[in-house]
């Protein structure tokens, strides 16, 4: 359901952010002067950071930034695959009542917020974290006046929260003192959440930035400026920043002061690289200082990397074939610099959706199937230089419910033409007009040349069967508006999983979620909807997985989307960055990374600014 | 220019007019540089017309035009002669030369349509303000000084943002913000002409103000419009390139700005041709128009030199 | 003098009002509420309404009693053929109760107006929950207005049509009545300006005024050197040209100036970044850390503006050279350079000063392209980002402040004239 996030990714054409998340740094020693080796590390971000308020961090880079400072009750375990949640600010996993409706969390004692002038009562000393903080933070996200884009995570789930949300509209200030039945602090360190109906995904939700603990004092003290003054319990604090340019984080001194002992995981599933366990059980975080730059232009970033002004970089599609050899190894110069290439499949799904409300494409299943068949998988993959896989259905690999059956509509021009004729458009000719069928593809952004070219390639595929695709570029807001008003015919969009559960993908086809909900194809199938209502309250069982498969099959047969790609995340990584492993939800995980200062200094001396 | 059938003969201006244009042409003919520029402009115009023809024909015939044809086998071919791709190909294997022609078409479209928006606004408001004076004049002066005080590029971007991306935003953004200079000049000229005998005579004959303005005064100040057109054309082209590069302007069509933005991706790897040819094309047309505009200005009205047209 | 100053300030006001009006028309009238784009896709109409309430977008534009509400979108059924509940462009209801769901409850103690365009051949329709009675019979399409009070939560969440017979509706509009017809978006905007409150940036989630203050520094760091270097270089070259008028040197500079003017700004930047920074390694490619990082952008800024400035100043000086007093001076036997520096430059000062002072306000917005290319976190960069993310409040503020600065600096120029040349006041 996460929207803003998926949006931003599809703007970026998918890859760039991912590539950069992969432990690539955009740092510049030369900018900073030389510190003690190992003391700092430079991580780069390519998209802008939209402030540090967790409830407003709708996109990946803002959420990543906020997750350095704030923490939630739970977190993903760093090394475990398949993904699993573990307690972070909670003492242990919650106790859940038998009906699955009441969750009780014990909150860790002795966790303190960082020191900040907003804590006036204690003279600026950070106070202890209590259960009320979570209640306050969840109410904040519900508060209509805050206009948070994240309320979907709690909407219609927590007893009394929706009513409280209603009460915040209008002119009167929102009443945070009002009790919400579903959110109660049983004592200072016990939080009870009551649900309106079973919601097995709640545990995933509680790892997300929307559920991070925010101290009320800071929100009230800084007001509108709170976005620039994060005050949290996390491993780092924001030391200084320059909007849209540079952010500097340093180790949170409160951790040492209060003796907080979070440790690197000491267990890992079999098959994990043993190097990842070298620091098992050691206290985190390892890195003292983090500098982030916002370099939105990928070409600039790449030039900086090549000149040595940056220590590392992501790799955009366009530079890919020049950098990577046929067998996916790094080409000469980069390999000589001691840079490693990492790759990992992601849970991101990109697609071209049909608006099922549209009189032309919506009512014509054969047409949609024909277009699916006309999509030239090999060429598309080649365009992306093998950095994607073509998904076969709505559930990506790595999530239970994924099926490795071949797609029923593989690339096949003859079959596509046949289907198109059956659909009523022989050779693409629309009998009503005598001209080729023309469809409009709505796109969210034109800033990124790679994104633009991919769309042109798609148009090219369709042209082969005689369907003319008119590309309509919008800026993001207009695009969204067209989605909401169901004015699009075809649209190109991506979905970044909110949590690793097929439910998160299948809800995109649930009829009540139609636009303005996330089901922008406005797909509606009674059988599918019935199954969805069944699975969304089920715990993880083989039976549920089976239902997932059935639902996936329904969607694949109907073709409301052309599934275009699951990107692989690729990034360049230096040998001096340790403990790095790709994670789809890397929020707060920077505390596990480590920099080998000596090796880095050596590397810099050799390959830095030439 | 002046209509000989008009009831009021304004011999002085007619004669002056004729000789003004003839003189100007003679002076232009003498300048080899100006003629060369005129030639360059004509060549570009031919390219634009050809591009438009290709575009139209492909639309009517319902086929994909060659400048959009992709061929991943022929990515980044370097230019070579003789070959099918004299200027090489881009990242999707599309012919750079064909795209360059289409870029010319779009540049001309922008230049012409923005002129069609801005020049009538400038001329009509300028004439009305200058001729009527008084409250009307105050209002129009107020209007253009307000427009003049808004930072140009930001204003254009803001209009494009509100109107929506794409060519329409470019047209309106540039068209609605660049009429001020012309309006000011025309107003000044009209005020001067208002007290000339031929206008007095026309008025004495009871001709309507609009008839006097547009049939009699306008032909005498029309050279300003011509000079203004030649000088604003390259400016509009440059702005379009800039906007398209930022992703606010033209989309889905090979505008020069879009081409520069695409070409930049691979420059570091030695793919120089798309960038080079596009920048040369822009340089050529802008230079030719600038020089031609100067020559025209010198020939038609040397007094305009310092004024912004 | 004082009278003159105050008169000029008074004359300035209409322009400022004009600027306010134009920005308002552009962003509020043509643009409209940015709520949907700000709040993201997963948003309820109630959240949108709340957003509009906070930013004044749910008021009438200029003045008026009635304003839109997001509780019920205007439904023109004839414009949405194809939807299933709709036949031939209207909704038909026969015998029964039909609910038109409202997105959220109407405000209590507020008057609403429901406009219906309908056709009803027989029967009767009543609206039990808003206490309104029968629509009149009408064979042809007919518009009618129902005025009612918003009720307490319990009953007003939906509009119920109780139809006896057949009712066809093809247009439905709900409007809310303002307590005060002057409580409009324009007034709201004026109040905001008076408080120097420029709203919230939707892409960066923070007050615009803070962003502007933070961005002004880097912009000035970049633009002030560009400005002065360009000024001195341009005047210098123009003097040389004037001095050596019609020689080869002069011709050379004139052609060079036109050539420089004709090179696109983008090309300067890309070529500079690529050749000088990347290939040659003389400058950093990107960043804003020390003065070294400003060298290349400043260089590009100067070069790209040089051509037109040289031409401008040269023309001004040549104009002066043809004047009588210059001839007299020459006749008196004053040396060429003496004439140039003592007379020409001095007299050309007025147009030069005008040009210079009126250019100052443009420094504040910085350079859109230079900043976004070289990562200089100034106002130009902010503006480009804002345009790309449709951040209305930021653009509006920058346009407005830029214009106001321009007006103010114009005033300063005029005052300078008056101070230099007392005759001006008499005009």
**3-class secondary structure for A519-585?**
ECCCCCCHHHHHHHHHHCCCCCCHHHHHHHHHHHHHHHHHCCEEEEEEEEEEEEEECCEECCCCCCC
CATH of the domain at C330: 1.10.3720.10
Cis before residue B257, ω within 30 degrees of 0?
no
Average pLDDT, rounded, for chain B: 84
Query: Per-residue pLDDT averaged across A557-569, rounded?
Result: 88
CB contact under 8 A, C206 and A51: yes
Distance (Å) from the alpha carbon of A439 to chain C's nearest alpha carbon: 17
CB contact under 8 A, C264 and B150: no
Asked if A568 and A346 touch (Cβ cutoff 8 Å), the reply is yes
CB contact under 8 A, B149 and C407: yes
Query: Does one domain contain both C116 and C227?
Result: no
pTM (whole model) above 0.90: no
Residue C32 lies in a domain: no
pLDDT at B167 over 50: yes
- What is the extent of the structural domain holding C148? 76-177
Pick the range with the lowest mean pLDDT from A139-153, A566-580, B204-218, C269-283.
A566-580
Higher pLDDT, A17 or C206: C206
Higher pLDDT, A556 or A609: A556
Residue in C with minimal Cα distance to B160: C387
pLDDT at A20 over 60: no
Residue C371 lies in a domain: yes
User: pLDDT (tens digit, 9 = 90+) per residue, C328-341?
Assistant: 888 888 887 777 77
Residue C123 lies in a domain: yes
Residue C42 lies in a domain: no
Query: Does one domain contain both C131 and C225?
Result: no
pLDDT at A369: 93
Asked if C364 and C227 touch (Cβ cutoff 8 Å), the reply is no
CB atoms within 10 A of CB A496: 26
pLDDT at A42: 61
Burial class (CB in 10 A: 0-12, 13-18, 19+), C61: middle
CB contact under 8 A, B165 and A319: no
Using CB atoms, list chains with 3+ pairs below 8 Å to chain B.
A, C
Residue B248 with chain C: CB contacts under 8 Å: 387-388
User: pLDDT (tens digit, 9 = 90+) per residue, B282-299?
Assistant: 999 999 998 898 888 888
CB contact under 8 A, C406 and B150: yes
CATH of the domain at C145: 2.60.120.260
- What share of chain A has pLDDT > 70, as a percent? 85
pLDDT at A150 over 70: yes
pLDDT at B25: 84
pLDDT at C12 over 80: yes
Residue with tokens 């017309």: B49
C319 in contact with B, Cβ within 8 Å: yes
C347-353: long-range contacts, CB 8 A cutoff, minimum separation 24: C347/C320, C347/C323, C348/C313, C348/C316, C348/C317, C348/C319, C348/C320, C350/C417, C350/C420, C351/B306, C351/C316, C352/C235, C352/C313, C352/C316, C353/C413, C353/C416
B161 in contact with A, Cβ within 8 Å: yes
Query: Does one domain contain both C267 and C365?
Result: yes
Q: How many domains does chain C have?
A: 2
Asked if A24 and A295 touch (Cβ cutoff 8 Å), the reply is no
Residue C278 with chain B: CB contacts under 8 Å: 268
Q: What is the ipTM of this complex?
A: 0.82
Nearest to A52 by CA among A213, A229, A219: A229
Query: Does one domain contain both C167 and C212?
Result: no
User: pLDDT (tens digit, 9 = 90+) per residue, C36-69?
Assistant: 666 665 567 777 788 888 778 888 888 888 888 8
Query: Does one domain contain both C100 and C146?
Result: yes
Pick the range with the lowest mean pLDDT from A77-91, B29-43, B64-78, B180-194.
B64-78
pLDDT at A7 over 50: no
B150 in contact with C, Cβ within 8 Å: yes
Nearest to C226 by CA among C121, C366, C361, C392: C366
Query: Which of B154, B275, B306 lies nearest to residue C398, judging by beta carbons?
Result: B154
* Gap between the Cα atoms of A296 and A16, Å rounded: 10
pLDDT at A21: 30
* Gap between the Cα atoms of C126 and C97, Å rounded: 9
Domain end among C155, C177, C199: C177
Query: Does one domain contain both C236 and C353?
Result: yes
pLDDT at C297: 92
pLDDT at B1 over 70: no
* Gap between the Cα atoms of B250 and B106, Å rounded: 9
pLDDT at A91: 93
- What share of chain B has pLDDT > 90, as a percent? 33
Fold category of B21-74+88-306 in CATH: MetI-like fold (1.10.3720)
Query: Which of C36, C40, C46 lies nearest to residue A58, judging by beta carbons?
Result: C40
pLDDT at C109 over 90: no
Residue C302 lies in a domain: yes
Average pLDDT, rounded, for chain A: 82
Q: CA Rg, chain C, in Å?
A: 32
pLDDT bin (cut points 50, 70, 90) of residue B61 is confident
Query: Per-residue pLDDT averaged across A10-18, rounded?
Result: 30
pLDDT at A4: 33
* Gap between the Cα atoms of A62 and A58, Å rounded: 7
Query: Does one domain contain both C358 and C265?
Result: yes
Residue C318 lies in a domain: yes
pLDDT at B9: 43
Residue C320 lies in a domain: yes
DSSP, res C87: B
Asked if A462 and A479 touch (Cβ cutoff 8 Å), the reply is no
Query: Does one domain contain both C309 and C349?
Result: yes
pLDDT bin (cut points 50, 70, 90) of residue C102 is confident
Asked if A190 and A106 touch (Cβ cutoff 8 Å), the reply is yes
Query: Does one domain contain both C98 and C173?
Result: yes
User: pLDDT (tens digit, 9 = 90+) per residue, C123-174?
Assistant: 677 776 666 666 677 777 778 877 777 765 444 456 777 777 777 777 778 8
Per-state percent for chain A, helix, strand, coil, to nearest 5: 35, 20, 45
CB contact under 8 A, B158 and C267: no
* Gap between the Cα atoms of B79 and B274, Å rounded: 9
* Gap between the Cα atoms of A572 and A15, Å rounded: 13
Query: Per-residue pLDDT averaged across C187-207, rounded?
Result: 86
| C101: alpha, beta or left? (left if phi > 0; alpha if psi -120 to 50) | beta
pLDDT bin (cut points 50, 70, 90) of residue A321 is low
Query: Per-residue pLDDT averaged across A119-148, rounded?
Result: 91
User: pLDDT (tens digit, 9 = 90+) per residue, A285-313?
Assistant: 888 888 888 887 777 877 777 766 666 56
Residue C160 lies in a domain: yes
pLDDT at C152: 54
B224 in contact with C, Cβ within 8 Å: no
DSSP, res C135: P
Pick the range with the lowest mean pLDDT from A23-32, A244-253, B113-122, C329-338.
A23-32
Pick the range with the lowest mean pLDDT from A161-165, B6-10, C169-173, C234-238.
B6-10
* Gap between the Cα atoms of C71 and C290, Å rounded: 53
Query: Does one domain contain both C309 and C380?
Result: yes
């Amino acid at each position: 359901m996460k929207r803003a996030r998926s949006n931003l990714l599809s703007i970026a054409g998918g890859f760039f952010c991912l590539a950069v998340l992969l432990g690539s740094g955009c740092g510049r020693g030369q900018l900073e002067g030389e510190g003690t080796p190992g003391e700092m590390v430079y991580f780069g971000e390519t998209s802008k950071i939209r402030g540090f308020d967790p409830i407003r961090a709708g996109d990946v880079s803002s959420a990543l930034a906020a997750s350095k400072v704030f923490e939630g009750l739970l977190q993903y375990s760093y090394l475990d695959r398949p993904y699993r949640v573990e307690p972070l600010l909670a003492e242990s996993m919650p106790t859940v009542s038998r009906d699955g409706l009441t969750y009780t969390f014990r909150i860790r004692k002795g966790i303190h917020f960082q020191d900040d002038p907003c804590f006036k009562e204690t003279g600026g000393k950070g106070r202890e974290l209590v259960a009320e903080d979570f209640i306050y933070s969840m109410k904040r996200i519900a508060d209509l006046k805050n206009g948070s884009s994240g309320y979907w995570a709690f909407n219609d789930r927590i007893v009394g929260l929706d009513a409280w949300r209603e009460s915040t509209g209008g002119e009167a200030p929102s009443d945070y003192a009002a009790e919400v039945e579903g959110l109660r602090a049983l004592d200072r360190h016990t939080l009870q959440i009551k649900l309106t109906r079973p919601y097995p995904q709640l545990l995933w939700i509680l790892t997300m930035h929307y559920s991070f603990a925010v101290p009320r004092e800071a929100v009230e003290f800084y007001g509108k400026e709170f976005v620039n003054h994060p005050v949290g319990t996390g491993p780092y604090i924001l030391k200084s920043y320059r909007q849209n340019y540079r952010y500097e984080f340093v180790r949170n001194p409160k951790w040492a002061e209060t003796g907080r002992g979070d440790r690197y995981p000491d267990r890992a599933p079999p098959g994990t690289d043993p190097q990842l366990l070298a620091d098992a059980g050691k206290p985190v975080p390892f890195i003292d200082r983090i500098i982030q730059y916002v370099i939105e232009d990928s070409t600039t970033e790449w030039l900086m990397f090549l000149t040595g002004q940056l220590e590392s970089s992501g790799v955009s599609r366009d530079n890919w074939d020049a950098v990577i050899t046929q067998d996916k190894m790094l080409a000469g110069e980069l390999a000589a610099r001691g840079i490693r290439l990492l790759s990992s499949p992601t849970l991101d799904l990109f697609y071209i959706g049909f608006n099922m409300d549209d009189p032309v494409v919506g009512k014509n299943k054969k047409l949609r199937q024909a277009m699916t068949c006309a999509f030239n998988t090999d060429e598309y993959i080649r365009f992306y230089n093998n950095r994607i896989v073509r998904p076969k259905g709505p559930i990506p690999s790595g999530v239970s419910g994924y099926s490795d059956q071949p797609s029923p509509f593989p690339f096949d021009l003859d079959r596509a033409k046949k289907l198109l004729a059956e659909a009523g458009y022989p050779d693409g000719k629309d009998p009503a007009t005598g001209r080729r069928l023309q469809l409009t593809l709505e796109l969210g952004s034109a800033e990124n040349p790679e994104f633009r070219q991919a769309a042109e390639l798609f148009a090219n595929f369709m042209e082969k069967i005689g369907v003319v695709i008119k590309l309509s570029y919008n800026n993001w807001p207009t695009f969204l508006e067209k989605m909401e008003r169901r004015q699009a015919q075809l649209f190109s969009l991506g979905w970044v999983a909110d949590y690793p559960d097929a439910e998160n993908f299948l809800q995109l086809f649930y009829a009540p979620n139609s636009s303005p909900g996330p089901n922008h194809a406005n797909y509606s199938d009674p059988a599918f909807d019935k199954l969805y209502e069944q699975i969304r309250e089920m715990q993880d069982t083989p039976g549920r997985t089976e239902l997932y498969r059935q639902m996936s099959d329904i969607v694949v047969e109907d073709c409301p989307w052309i599934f275009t790609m699951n990107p692989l995340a690729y990034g360049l990584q230096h040998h001096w960055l340790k403990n790095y492993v790709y994670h789809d939800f890397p929020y707060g995980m920077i505390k596990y990374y480590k920099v080998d200062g000596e090796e880095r200094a050596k590397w810099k001396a050799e390959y830095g600014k030439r | 220019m002046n209509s000989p059938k008009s009831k009021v003969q304004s011999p002085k201006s007619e004669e002056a007019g004729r000789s003004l244009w003839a003189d100007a042409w003679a002076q232009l003919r003498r300048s080899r540089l100006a003629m060369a520029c005129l030639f360059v402009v004509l060549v570009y115009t031919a390219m634009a017309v050809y591009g438009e023809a290709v575009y139209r024909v492909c639309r009517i015939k319902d086929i994909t035009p060659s400048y959009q044809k992709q061929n991943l086998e022929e990515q980044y071919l370097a230019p070579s002669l003789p070959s099918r791709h004299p200027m090489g190909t881009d990242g999707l294997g599309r012919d750079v030369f064909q795209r360059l022609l289409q870029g010319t078409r779009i540049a001309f479209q922008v230049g012409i349509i923005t002129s069609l928006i801005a020049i009538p606004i400038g001329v009509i408001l300028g004439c009305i303000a200058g001729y009527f004076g008084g409250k009307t004049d105050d209002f129009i002066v107020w209007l253009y000084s307000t427009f003049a005080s808004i930072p140009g590029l930001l204003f254009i971007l803001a209009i494009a943002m509100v109107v929506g991306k794409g060519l329409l935003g470019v047209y309106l953004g540039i068209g609605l913000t660049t009429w001020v200079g012309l309006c000011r000049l025309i107003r000044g000229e009209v005020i001067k002409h208002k007290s000339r005998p031929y206008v007095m005579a026309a008025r004495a004959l009871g001709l309507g103000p609009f008839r006097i303005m547009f049939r009699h005064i306008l032909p005498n100040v029309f050279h300003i419009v011509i000079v203004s057109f030649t000088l604003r054309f390259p400016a509009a082209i440059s702005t379009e390139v800039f906007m398209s590069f930022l992703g606010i302007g033209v989309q889905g069509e090979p505008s020069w700005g879009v081409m520069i933005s695409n070409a930049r991706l691979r420059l570091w790897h030695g793919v120089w041709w798309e960038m080079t040819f596009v920048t040369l094309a822009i340089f050529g047309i802008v230079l030719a128009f600038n020089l031609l505009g100067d020559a025209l200005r010198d020939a038609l009205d040397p007094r305009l030199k310092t004024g912004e047209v | 003098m004082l009278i003159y100053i105050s008169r000029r300030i008074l004359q300035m006001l209409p322009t400022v009002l004009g600027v306010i009006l134009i920005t308002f028309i552009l962003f509020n009238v043509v643009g409209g509420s940015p709520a949907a784009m700000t709040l993201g896709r997963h948003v309820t109409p109630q959240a949108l309404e709340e957003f509009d309430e906070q930013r004044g977008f749910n008021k009438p534009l200029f003045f008026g009693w009635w304003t839109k509400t997001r509780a019920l979108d205007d439904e023109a059924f004839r414009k949405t053929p194809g939807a299933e509940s709709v036949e031939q462009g209207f909704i038909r209801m026969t015998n029964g109760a039909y609910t038109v769901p409202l997105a959220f409850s109407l405000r209590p103690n507020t008057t609403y107006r429901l406009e219906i365009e309908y056709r009803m051949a027989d029967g009767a329709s009543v609206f039990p929950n808003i206490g309104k009675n029968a629509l009149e019979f009408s064979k042809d399409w007919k518009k009618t207005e129902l005025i009612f009070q918003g009720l307490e939560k319990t009953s007003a969440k939906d509009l119920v049509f109780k139809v006896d017979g057949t009712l066809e509706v093809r247009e439905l509009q709900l409007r809310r009545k303002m307590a005060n017809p002057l409580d409009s978006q324009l007034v709201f905007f004026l109040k905001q300006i008076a408080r120097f409150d420029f709203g919230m940036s939707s892409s960066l989630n923070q007050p615009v005024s803070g962003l502007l203050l933070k961005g002004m520094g880097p912009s000035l760091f970049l633009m002030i050197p560009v400005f002065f270097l360009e000024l001195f270089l341009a005047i210098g070259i123009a003097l040389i040209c004037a001095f050596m008028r019609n020689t080869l040197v002069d011709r050379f500079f004139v052609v060079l100036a036109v050539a420089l003017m004709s090179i696109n700004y983008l090309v300067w930047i890309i070529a500079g970044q690529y050749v000088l920074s990347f290939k040659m390694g003389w400058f950093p490619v990107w960043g804003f850390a020390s003065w070294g990082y400003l060298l290349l952008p400043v260089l590009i800024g100067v070069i790209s503006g040089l051509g037109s400035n040289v031409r401008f100043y040269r023309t001004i000086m040549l104009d002066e050279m043809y004047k009588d007093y210059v001839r007299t001076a020459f006749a008196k036997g004053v040396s060429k350079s003496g004439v140039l520096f003592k007379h020409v430059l001095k007299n050309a000062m007025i147009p030069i000063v005008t040009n210079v002072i009126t250019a100052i306000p443009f420094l504040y917005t910085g350079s859109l392209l230079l900043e976004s290319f070289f990562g200089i976190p100034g106002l130009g960069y902010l503006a480009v980002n804002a345009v790309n993310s449709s951040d209305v409040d930021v653009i509006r503020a920058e346009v407005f402040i830029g214009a106001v600065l321009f007006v103010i600096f114009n005033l300063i120029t005029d005052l300078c004239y008056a101070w230099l040349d007392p005759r001006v006041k008499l005009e």
